[in-house]
Structure 1
Amino acid sequence: MSSESSTNSSTNSHQHPKGSCPMTGKTFDFCPPQAGDSRSPCPALNALANHGYLPRDGKNIGPMDLVRGLKKGYHLSSVLAYILSFGSLFLLGQFRCMSLSDLARHNLIEHNASLVHDDDNNGAEYAPTSVDNTLLTALCSEGGKVLPNRMTLEDAALIRVKREKECGILDGVHAEIARGEIVIAIGVLGGKDAAKNGVKISALHEWMSNERLPVGWKPDHTQGLYQTYKMAKFVRERMREVRAQQPSDKPPVQSQ
Structure 2
Amino acid sequence: MGIGQKLTKPFYDLFVLIWDTNIAVVNLILPQLEPGHVVPADAPGHGGKWPEYVPPRDGDSRSACPMLNALANHGVLPHDGKNITFRELNTVVRQSFNFAPSFCFFVPKFAADFLGRSYWSDKFDLADLSKHNAIEHDASLTRHDVAQAPDQGVPDQELVDELLNRATGKASDGTPLLTKRDLSLQLSKRRVEAKQSNSAYTESLFHNMFGSANSSTMLTIFGGRVNDLRPMLSEERFSGDWEPRVLSRFGLTMAAFNFTVLPVERGVDTKALEVQG
**2:267 aligned to which of 233, 238, 242:** 238
**1:42 aligned to which of 42, 62, 65:** 65
Q: Does 1:160 align with 2:187?
A: yes
Shift, 1:250, TM fit: 10
Task: Return the alpha-carbon distance in structure 2 between the equivalents of residues 218 and 203 of structure 1.
Answer: 10
- Contact 1:39/1:46, CA 8 A, preserved across alignment: yes
1:195 is aligned to none
| 1:59-208 pair list within 5 angstroms | 59-95=82-118, 96-121=122-147, 126-144=150-168, 149-168=176-195, 170-190=203-223, 199-208=224-233
In structure 2, relative to structure 1, the CA distance for the partners of 1:250 and 1:55 (3 Å cut) is: farther
For 2:166, the aligned partner's letter is: E
Task: Return the alpha-carbon distance in structure 2 between the equivalents of residues 79 and 165 of structure 1.
Answer: 34
1:13 is aligned to none
Shift, 1:160, TM fit: 0.7
Task: Return the alpha-carbon distance in structure 2 between the equivalents of residues 163 and 248 of structure 1.
Answer: 12
Question: What is the identity percentage for the equivalent residue pairs of Structure 1 and Structure 2?
Answer: 27
Q: Does 1:32 align with 2:55?
A: yes
- Contact 1:106/1:127, CA 8 A, preserved across alignment: no
- Contact 1:152/1:186, CA 8 A, preserved across alignment: yes
Q: Does 1:224 align with 2:253?
A: yes
- What are structure 1's unaligned runs of at least 5 residues? 1-26, 191-198, 252-256
- Contact 2:192/2:270, CA 8 A, preserved across alignment: no
Task: Return the alpha-carbon distance in structure 1 between the equivalents of residues 145 and 88 of structure 2.
Answer: 29
Larger RCO of the pair (alpha carbons < 8 Å, separation 6+) = 2
For 1:174, the aligned partner's letter is: H
1:11 is aligned to none
Task: Return the alpha-carbon distance in structure 1 between the equivalents of residues 255 and 105 of structure 2.
Answer: 14
> Where has structure 1 moved over 6 Å in runs of 4 or more?
none
Task: Return the alpha-carbon distance in structure 2 between the equivalents of residues 77 and 127 of structure 1.
Answer: 30
Shift, 1:109, TM fit: 2.0
- Contact 1:165/1:250, CA 8 A, preserved across alignment: no
Shift, 1:248, TM fit: 6.6
In structure 2, relative to structure 1, the CA distance for the partners of 1:70 and 1:41 (3 Å cut) is: same
2:235 is aligned to 210
Task: Return the alpha-carbon distance in structure 1 between the equivalents of residues 256 and 214 of structure 2.
Answer: 14
Q: How many pairs align?
A: 212
* 3-state SS, counterpart of residue 222 of structure 2: helix
TM-score when normalising by structure 1: 0.75
Shift, 1:55, TM fit: 1.7
- What are structure 2's unaligned runs of at least 5 residues? 1-49, 196-201
* 3-state SS, counterpart of residue 142 of structure 1: coil
Task: Return the alpha-carbon distance in structure 2 between the equivalents of residues 146 and 154 of structure 1.
Answer: 13
Q: Does 1:52 align with 2:75?
A: yes
Shift, 1:35, TM fit: 2.8
Q: Deviations over 1:129-178 (max 9, x none)?
A: 21111111111111226776110112111111111111137212211211
Task: Return the alpha-carbon distance in structure 1 between the equivalents of residues 213 and 126 of structure 2.
Answer: 18
Q: Deviations over 1:26-65 (max 9, x none)?
A: x733222223211111101101111222222111111111
